Amino acid sequence: MLLLTLVLAAGPMNTKPIEDELVKKFGEAQRVRVERGVRQVAALWRKDDGDLAAFAKDNFLVEPKELDDTFARFEANFEQLDGHLLEIGRELQKPTALDLGPLLKVDPYFAEFDPSAHLIEDLFNTKLGFVVLLNYPLTTLEQRLAAKDWSRAQWAQARLAGRFARRVPAEVQQQITSAQAAADLYIAEYNLWMHHVLSEKGERLFPRGKRLISHWNLRDELKANYADQGGLEKQRTLIKVMERIVTQSIPAAVINNPTVDWNPFANTVVAAAAGTIEDDAPKKVLPPSTKPEPEVRYKKLQANWASQKKADPFSPTAPTAIDRAFSLGAEMPEARVKELLESVLESPLVPQVAAQIEKKTGRKLEPTDLWFNGFLPRGAIAEPELDAKVRAKYPSAQAFAKDIPRILQGLGFPADRAKYLSERILVDPSRGAGHALQAARRGDFPHLRTRVEKEGMNYKGYNIAVHELGHNVEQVFSLYDIDHTLLAGVPNTAFTEAIAFVFQAKDLELLGLGKPDAESERLRVLNDFWMTWEIAGVALVDIEVWHWMYDHPKATPAQLRDATVEISKRTWNKYYAPVLGGKDTPLLGIYSHMISYPMYLFNYPLGHLIAFQIEEQVKKTGKIGPEIERMAKFGAVTPDAWMVNASGEPVSSGPLLRATEAALKK
Ligand SMILES: [Zn+2]
């Protein structure tokens, strides 16, 4: 019912005469289908699409066989469309993605060319999208979540119709892309030259030339400082820098500028002595001044929101960006996602893990320990030794490809399945770090891109290759062994990442170097728990800020800044201050994703929960191979339906919390 109301509200057209005409033609028994179909079409129909009544009369299908055959035709043709468009993109990107020699000037342009960029619009313009909407039901997230007795064909039909749930006009889409690109660029150039960021006492703590991008490098530097003598003072300085970025009290002149020295505690700025200035300083910089950055951060965020809001009327089943992130993106209701995050944030295990960190650091915890990384074990075998071993084994990408059947058998796949998989995974020498590229039609194959140095593969490359192999295995099963190609894939990226991590954790074992010892396993779990706890709060802030923007459409950027700071502080005081102190720090607002990848952060903590859930299930049976095959063949249903099939339970924080509890007991 909810669905119909939404569609009606969005469609300006009176559809009653068309509905009556179709009911007259096809009979009263078709009334429900007629009303639904016509309203679904009318909600997205534009004047220049032509005569809706004539289209509906010509294309409304009644015969069950014709409906089934038409659905099958869409499924078969979309496999070809998706699969071949993906292949075209892959071929055009080959020179930039693979290590095949020097690039031509045109190669980056080809790499940016996206042959599927206008596919949905073309499908609407040719009326194919409207044929789908006229004959197959759009579903709400509530309906998909309640769909316990749906057949696989019904799931596939829901995916078919779901492709046409939105028809965002090109100019609105263009505004969304531009706002996002502007935010990306702002973040990409947000560097701090650390030699010129002074301690509370005005000392230089960081070496010349160190340039850190907010927030990723600032956070990673903070983590690296745990291994350092005197690291705490650097960490406190980094925290102060982050706080000033969130509150926008950071002077505009110190952003990406090594010609001024900044004390973030006193917030003073002076010209840097000539001898301290790096040679590669940017050409255009501001003169020394304490004038704050004029809310640019929040202007970019607000511009992202404003552009997304323009797409709201063209997305009748998910009419806000928040709805789209949860019901179309994650396919989990917001309330449930929040509940999962809170179950980690409020877990009684938090103070127990904190006590272990206090023991390791030998001091009272403080805000910097939000990013404690001292749980990560140092490997028992030194990296150069591992490099030598891997290099000898894999002098080329082909050598790794040849070894895939053995690796897969090492992961518990029977010989015939290992052979089947290895025949469907193509290995390429990668220019970058390595990645897995899916295929989208049967007959085409997933690619494993792996980096091999001149002297052979090193350990880091091998570790990544085993991770990517996990993606490829999932990609083969969820395309070749699935009953409906409209259901190919996984519910979202967290699921394929989780499978890849299960593979990656076995890398040393697969080299014949034995299982990881119990202590490093214990530390890995505590580290993952702490990372989940950290990002869960950040995600809550992101969600609440988006609600605030929708609730305050006329707010100024300064008001958005104040609200973000207030939400960050409140979230910190509720969950983090009792453990880490630092009452009223706005630290949680620092993530750059908030500005340039809006409404995405909550996927990270969910990813950790899903990874632990898959891992726990695989451990129960002790056989990675057959379990992964069984899970991956289920395809892109909702996360909860996928997880019920995989582990008997919907997505839950139980496995992470159980593993953490066990790690604390050891
Ligand atoms: Zn991955």
Ranges of each domain in the chain: 2-166, 186-294, 300-375+518-665, 383-510
CA of 501 from ligand 1 middle (Å) equals: 8
pLDDT band at 3 (very low <50, low <70, confident <90, very high): very low
CA of 495 from ligand 1 middle (Å) equals: 10
CA of 505 from ligand 1 middle (Å) equals: 13
Total length of the chain: 666
Asked if 242 and 264 touch (Cβ cutoff 8 Å), the reply is no
CA of 340 from ligand 1 middle (Å) equals: 23
Global model pTM greater than 0.95: no
Q: Is it the case that residue 662 has pLDDT exceeding 90? A: yes
CA of 468 from ligand 1 middle (Å) equals: 6
Asked if 625 and 407 touch (Cβ cutoff 8 Å), the reply is no
Element (H, E) at 435: strand 434-437
CA of 126 from ligand 1 middle (Å) equals: 36
pLDDT band at 378 (very low <50, low <70, confident <90, very high): low
CA of 471 from ligand 1 middle (Å) equals: 7
Res 380: pLDDT? 73
CA of 480 from ligand 1 middle (Å) equals: 20
CA of 581 from ligand 1 middle (Å) equals: 35
Q: How many CB atoms lie within 10 A of CB 83?
A: 19
Convert the pLDDT of each residue in 564-591 to its tens digit: 999 999 999 999 999 999 999 999 999 9
CA of 301 from ligand 1 middle (Å) equals: 28
CA of 467 from ligand 1 middle (Å) equals: 6
CA of 454 from ligand 1 middle (Å) equals: 24
Beta bridge partners of 427: 448
Tokens 């003169």 belong to residue:
287
CA of 642 from ligand 1 middle (Å) equals: 19
Tokens 């009953």 belong to residue:
483
CA of 608 from ligand 1 middle (Å) equals: 13
Q: How far apart are alpha carbons 417 and 408 in whole angstroms? A: 9
Res 313: pLDDT? 93
- The arithmetic mean of pLDDT across residues 136-141, rounded, is 94
Q: Is it the case that residue 10 has pLDDT exceeding 60? A: no
CA of 434 from ligand 1 middle (Å) equals: 10
CA of 446 from ligand 1 middle (Å) equals: 14
Res 585: pLDDT? 98
CA of 332 from ligand 1 middle (Å) equals: 22
Res 41: pLDDT? 97
Res 569: pLDDT? 98
DSSP string, 215-266: THHHHHHHHHGGGSTTHHHHHHHHHHHHHHHHHT-SBGGGTT-TTEEEETTT
Res 117: pLDDT? 85
Asked if 312 and 188 touch (Cβ cutoff 8 Å), the reply is no
pLDDT band at 11 (very low <50, low <70, confident <90, very high): very low
Convert the pLDDT of each residue in 633-646 to its tens digit: 999 999 999 999 99
CA of 52 from ligand 1 middle (Å) equals: 45
CA of 500 from ligand 1 middle (Å) equals: 6
Q: How far apart are alpha carbons 647 and 356 in whole angstroms? A: 31
CA of 491 from ligand 1 middle (Å) equals: 15
CA of 271 from ligand 1 middle (Å) equals: 44
- The arithmetic mean of pLDDT across residues 316-328, rounded, is 93
- The arithmetic mean of pLDDT across residues 130-149, rounded, is 94
Helices 334-345 and 518-551 meet at what angle, rounded to 10? 130
CA of 76 from ligand 1 middle (Å) equals: 29
- The arithmetic mean of pLDDT across residues 611-635, rounded, is 94
Convert the pLDDT of each residue in 27-86 to its tens digit: 999 999 999 999 999 999 999 999 999 999 999 999 999 999 999 999 999 999 999 999
Q: Which of 239-253, 336-350, 596-610 has the lowest mean pLDDT?
A: 596-610
- The arithmetic mean of pLDDT across residues 106-119, rounded, is 90
- Average pLDDT over the chain, rounded to an integer: 94
Q: How far apart are alpha carbons 278 and 395 in whole angstroms? A: 40
CA of 250 from ligand 1 middle (Å) equals: 35
18-53: burial string, b at 16+ Cβ within 10 Å, e else: bbeebbeebeeeeeebbbbbbbbbbbbbeeeeeebe
CA of 98 from ligand 1 middle (Å) equals: 18
Kindly list the distances between the CA atom of residue 216 and the CA atoms of 188, 391, 452, 632, in Å, as whole numbers in the listed order.
Answer: 11, 31, 27, 32
Q: Is it the case that residue 376 has pLDDT exceeding 90? A: no
Convert the pLDDT of each residue in 457-486 to its tens digit: 999 999 999 999 999 999 999 999 999 999
Closest CA to 469 of 433, 512, 502: 502
CA of 424 from ligand 1 middle (Å) equals: 19
CA of 542 from ligand 1 middle (Å) equals: 24
DSSP string, 548-614: HHHH-TT--HHHHHHHHHHHHHHHIIIIIHHHH--TT--GGGG-THHHHSTT-TTHHHHHHHHHHHH
Res 12: pLDDT? 60
Q: How far apart are alpha carbons 495 and 382 in whole angstroms? A: 31
Asked if 449 and 430 touch (Cβ cutoff 8 Å), the reply is yes
Res 5: pLDDT? 39
pLDDT band at 427 (very low <50, low <70, confident <90, very high): very high
CA of 435 from ligand 1 middle (Å) equals: 7
CA of 475 from ligand 1 middle (Å) equals: 12
Res 99: pLDDT? 86
CA of 71 from ligand 1 middle (Å) equals: 33
DSSP string, 371-416: G--TTSPPPSS-HHHHHHHHHHH-SSHHHHHHHHHHHHHHTT--HH
CA of 472 from ligand 1 middle (Å) equals: 10
One-letter amino acid at 620 equals: K
pLDDT band at 518 (very low <50, low <70, confident <90, very high): confident
CA of 488 from ligand 1 middle (Å) equals: 18
